[in-house]
Structure 1
């Protein structure tokens, strides 16, 4: 079984460590630039080794695969370090800051013969995969329209998501979800799409709310939402996909679906998945299955989809910020 390491002992990394334990996976090491933080995380989660530098984690011979949980402003730098040291990777979303960085990491992983995957838990969720299979089978006909709404998203005490130095961006942080969902469910609504977007910019230039629209010959897609600083929770988040023979709607949680409606000529079904509380467990299982089978790319979160979505995010942010991304 693959031996895991965690880079960046933050809140999400703690939830991930709990789900590694539930999955029976082996968490061998954690690293932070602050040794005290790494040691505290290790003590809380029963991790054998705590490193005070990322270079030490990269050099750890007891680690096979690393979960990158640092702010996404540093994903490219940290992932490159780990790949250069021969580590397989699961990179927390958003995968990188832009498409150029994503292309670079995937090319390096392929060159090194290493596994790399965007940590989009939604795409590994069993209910999402069921919806994907039924849409692919033509049960709602040709998809023509998609709509998603996120939030209002609370920020709580997390100042990172509104900090430009740490990649703060509602579009990168949240709209990556519906874009990945759409690209996986209805590629005819994303491939070659013309993209338009608008957003609300803070005084620091961070998009705190945004709406993105895609148009192709097959149809349209729209998605929107925003942060409400100082509050908690995810608000009302969901999505709908309309085809020319039926439709579907996720009614409870866009990020980790547990309930959906699926409508065809035969009527409306309510679909549920009582195991969706597994959180990160589904993506952990996917990584471990790929590694045990010697696959360097997930079929559930394929490289092509990650690159396509990063390209769409680039275009959206260029509209919102009024400039080409660095």
Structure 2
């Protein structure tokens, strides 16, 4: 997220006549056909919810037809590659995540797109906090008790949303910081992994807070801490892992909007202005907080571009330390 490490950050017309329109004319009349927001995850998840929130703003603010298309698969690479190879005309956008633009750069041996070269950043939307949860039968009610328990049970299993996901990397960070020996069990998404924690098939995981909070409140899982630098607004009773004993521990993913590289700057600025308007709207910020997300400070296309570069470097260290690698 763009804070210091503490604060840091409709139709296209008949026939092929539109092909004769100059770039300047196209910019002047933008948008005059349907805009697609590609979400590289299935419907119903955090990224999908945010994509639809942003889409609503673009629809009303630009008086445009804007639709969401879910293109999950390949750890977000399928949807991201589709956008990277689309015409840079402002009509195909990507609801991107830190996985798409930062983690995958190091995680994949052969990534079909370049996060820092193939996209035109528009703006950041929200930070995604995570939490350490355990099955309630685990005899540990605090982080120190859990670390002691894990040390007494070498090879303890944990679940994640998949190899190289923030949940996987977060647990590997925990493993390193706490000096515990744990074993990774990848799932196809956070929710299936969390359901197995609830069922007792795996004892713990690092999970995004948004889908877990209700389960925490109902006592189906026990939470030992959140991974943010400060307590999360929607759950101020949950301590941070840093407070609980892992000094300096921090894991926050983020979500933002990008377009294909080469998208004209006036179009990028028009989209960025709508995104800034959305993020400055108090009801929207309150809605994000209720979704267990962290509204981010205003960003610009340039500041987002700079941030992506620093995040690629930061996550590279975490990915390499985890040993995760995908083809």
Q: TM-score higher than 0.5 here?
A: no
Larger relative contact order (CA 8 Å, sep ≥ 6): 2
Q: Which has the larger radius of gyration?
A: 2
- TM-score, normalization by structure 2: 0.39
- TM-score, normalization by structure 1: 0.39
- Bigger proportion of residues as strand: 1
